[in-house]
Amino acid sequence: MVVGMPLLGNSRSSLYEHGRAERHRSGSYGLGDMRIVGYHWMLDPAKSKKGNIQLGLGLKLPTGEENYQDYFQNVGPNKTPELRPVDQSIQLGDGGTALITELNGFYNFNERAGLYTTLFYMVNPREVNGVRTYRETLNASLANESIMSVPDQYMARLGANYSLGGKLNGVSVLLGGRLEGIPVKDLVGGSEGFRRPGYIVSVEPGVNYMVKKMNFFLTAPFAVERNRTQSVTDKEATAKTGVFRQGDAAFADWVLNLGFSVKF
């Protein structure tokens, strides 16, 4: 079983959120949503060392603040600062209790080389969390995006790994592909409200170091394709006005993931 409670610190620079007068920053800091996931190997690990499949099932709990607020400039009376919810992209949580499903697998060709895969999908039944976006104050056509959506999330990884051995015993390098994103429509429940659906395809190099019961890892996926797809609210506005609408989004060129795990 894995229990995770992230500690987050986010900063966002924006022009349009601050009355379009000048660029300012907003931020969010605190605990995020907790994840509790149990895992089970489908084959006996003691006998199936060449390959195995692991299934995971758990919950994401809404422990992170979904209505974290900061001051926004030039948007209050007489262009004074006003306390508002920060952008959805830097909220500490989404306000939903979600079902987490996961599949991990590996196959070893020999003692050093092998393949790995991870498939992850988070089912978030709640449709909206009641947190105001203030997007309708930017343009009346954004009225259907005035409240934040609570979207599903997904991720898939496939790649190869190689153990170095010798003086670098315990060190392995990996190279693979990674697909992650937010769907336009959720598997369960409605999909109204403001969300930024889309996906990122990345090449993901990395390195692992195992010592006793501890595993340290570092991966650095860098994007080769980014696509911000039309949301439900985008499609509604397009059908209503006859003018194609596809909302805003920002994608990272690369991400650095650094962490460790301990077996008890």
Residue range 99-137, pLDDT digits in tens: 999 999 999 999 899 999 999 999 999 999 999 999 999
Predicted model pTM: 0.92
Give the residue, 143 or 20, on which the prediction is more confident.
143
- Residue 206: give the domain boundaries: 2-262
Give the residue, 36 or 16, on which the prediction is more confident.
36
Q: For the purposes of burial, counting CB atoms within 10 Å of the CB of 197, is it exposed (0-12), middle (13-18) or buried (19 or more)? A: buried
pLDDT at position 24: 93
pLDDT, mean of residues 238-244: 94
What whole-number distance in Å separates Cα of residue 58 and Cα of residue 102? 9
Residue 263: is its pLDDT beyond 80?
A: no
Residue 256: is its pLDDT beyond 80?
A: yes
What whole-number distance in Å separates Cα of residue 193 and Cα of residue 147? 5
* Secondary structure of residue 236 in the 3-state scheme: helix
Q: State the total domains in the chain.
A: 1
What whole-number distance in Å separates Cα of residue 206 and Cα of residue 116? 13
Of the pLDDT bands very low, low, confident and very high (cuts 50, 70, 90), residue 212 is confident
pLDDT at position 66: 98
pLDDT at position 15: 87
Q: For the chain, how many residues are written?
A: 264
Q: Which two tokens stand for residue 255?
A: 């991400």
Give the residue, 146 or 213, on which the prediction is more confident.
146
pLDDT, mean of residues 4-20: 89
What is the tens place of the pLDDT at every residue in 154-190?
Answer: 999 999 999 998 888 889 999 999 999 999 999 999 9
> What CATH number has the domain bearing residue 165?
2.40.160
pLDDT at position 140: 87
pLDDT at position 25: 94
